[in-house]
Structure 1
C-alpha cells in the first residue's frame, strides 16, 4: 500500500521541529480529521536556507511534510512557491488516493509560510491556488 519512500520519510522524517528564528510560518489542517501541519521557513537572500515542520497526523501526512521540506530546502522563494502536491506525491513514489490530501496540506503549508514571510517583508502575499471541492473539503473540513 505504501511505497518504500513513504515508509522511509515516515520512520525517519527529515527537518522535524521548530525554527526559533523562522521568518515565515504557515499552518494548515483539519482538526476534524486530525491532520495539522506547521511549516517554519528561514529565508535569506531569497533562498530557503532552513526549513522545519511539525505535523500531527497519519504517516502519509508526516511523510508528505518531510519530503516537501527536502524538495524546497536551498531553493529560491519562487521555486519553493511552485512546489505542487503532485510533485510531493511523485517524489514519495505515490500516495494512496485517500491520502493525496496529505500532499495538498504540505503544498498549502509551504504557501502559507511563504506568504507570511512576504507579509513580514512588507510585500503583497501571492495568490494561493485552489484545489477541487472534494480535496478542499477533506483538507479543511468545509
Structure 2
C-alpha cells in the first residue's frame, strides 16, 4: 500500500473543485484512458487574465485525484502569468509529498494547466502536448517531456524518469532511449568520447622495431610500385636517416616523397615527432 500523506488522503477522499465549468474559456486535457490516467481541466479566466474558477475531471489513482484537486486550489485567484510558474514540484509540496512511483500525477497536473492556458491563448496544442520525438509509445511521452522532467526534478535514473513521466512503464522498448537522454543531459556522452591520444613514448628499441616494420610493410611496397625503393641507414633518437634508391633517387619530387609520404607515414605509425633525413 502506498504511503500517502494526510493531505493527499484528504484531497483524494474530499476532492475540491470537481466537475465541469459550462462557460469555461480555457480547457486542458492530458493523458488518456488507455494510459491509465486522464485529466481534463476547466478554467474561467476574466478580462484581467485572472483565474476566477477552476474545476477538473480525472480518471486515475488517488494521487491523480489529489494532485488535480490541489492544482485547482493553487491556481484559483492567480493571474495566468502567476499560474504558469507553478511546477509539479510545487504541486507535490502542497500535498506534503507523493510516493516516487506516483510523481507523474503531479506532472500531469502541470501539463493540463499548460494545455489549458495554450487553449485560452488560442495556441495549438500538440496531440501529446509536447513537441519533440515520441520516445514512449505506450504512454505518448516525448523526449522534450523527459528532458524537462530530468532538468526540473534532477532525475538521474531510468526508474526515476518512469516515476515522473510513466515513460518506460509499459513494454519497456524505450528504456535504452531514456538512458541515452539521461546520459546526454548529464554530460556522460561527452565523458565517453575518446580523448585525444597522448604522444607515444617509445624506448629506442621500440622505436627502431616500429620504424623497420613501417618501412617494410607500409612505405617500401608503395615506392616499389613506381620503381623506387628506400634503405634505412640509421636512427638517432627521433631522427630517421634513410637513402632513396631506384627511381626515387633521381626523381624531381623526391623531397616531397620524403617529407609527405615517408615522414608522414612514420609519424602516423611510429611517433608524432619523427623527422626524416636523407643521405646519399
TM-score interval for Structure 1 and Structure 2 normalised by the shorter chain: 0.7 to 0.9
Offset at residue 71 of structure 1 (A)? 0.4
CA contact (8 A) 2:27 2:116 kept: yes
Offset at residue 136 of structure 1 (A)? 3.5
Give, in whole Å, the separation in 2 of the partners of 1:80 and 1:87: 11
CA deviation vs aligned residue, 1:16-44 (integer Å, no higher than 9, x gap): 00000000000001434411000000000
Aligned to 1:26: 28
Aligned to 1:114: 117
Map 1:122-137; keep pairs closer than 5 Å.
Answer: 130-132=148-150, 134=162, 135-137=164-166
Which segment drifts farther, 129-138 or 72-81?
Answer: 129-138
Task: Quote the RMSD (CA, aligned, Å).
Answer: 2.4
Asked if 1:51 is matched to 2:69, the reply is no
Tell me, what secondary structure is at the counterpart of 1:37?
strand
Map 1:69-108; keep pairs closer than 5 Å.
Answer: 69-108=72-111
Larger Rg: 2
Change (3 A) 1:124 1:99: closer
How many residue pairs are counted as aligned between the two chains? 138
Aligned to 2:19: 17
Give, in whole Å, the separation in 2 of the partners of 1:105 and 1:4: 21
Give TM-score scaled by structure 1 length: 0.87
Tell me, what secondary structure is at the counterpart of 2:149?
coil
CA contact (8 A) 1:55 1:65 kept: yes
Give, in whole Å, the separation in 2 of the partners of 1:131 and 1:18: 29
Offset at residue 138 of structure 1 (A)? 3.6
- Comparing both chains, which one has the higher relative contact order based on Cα–Cα distances under 8 Å and sequence gaps of 6 or more? 1
Offset at residue 124 of structure 1 (A)? 8.5
Give TM-score scaled by structure 2 length: 0.46
Offset at residue 131 of structure 1 (A)? 2.5
The runs of at least 4 consecutive aligned structure 1 residues that moved more than 2 Å come to 30-33, 127-139
Tell me, what secondary structure is at the counterpart of 2:105?
helix
Aligned to 2:198: none
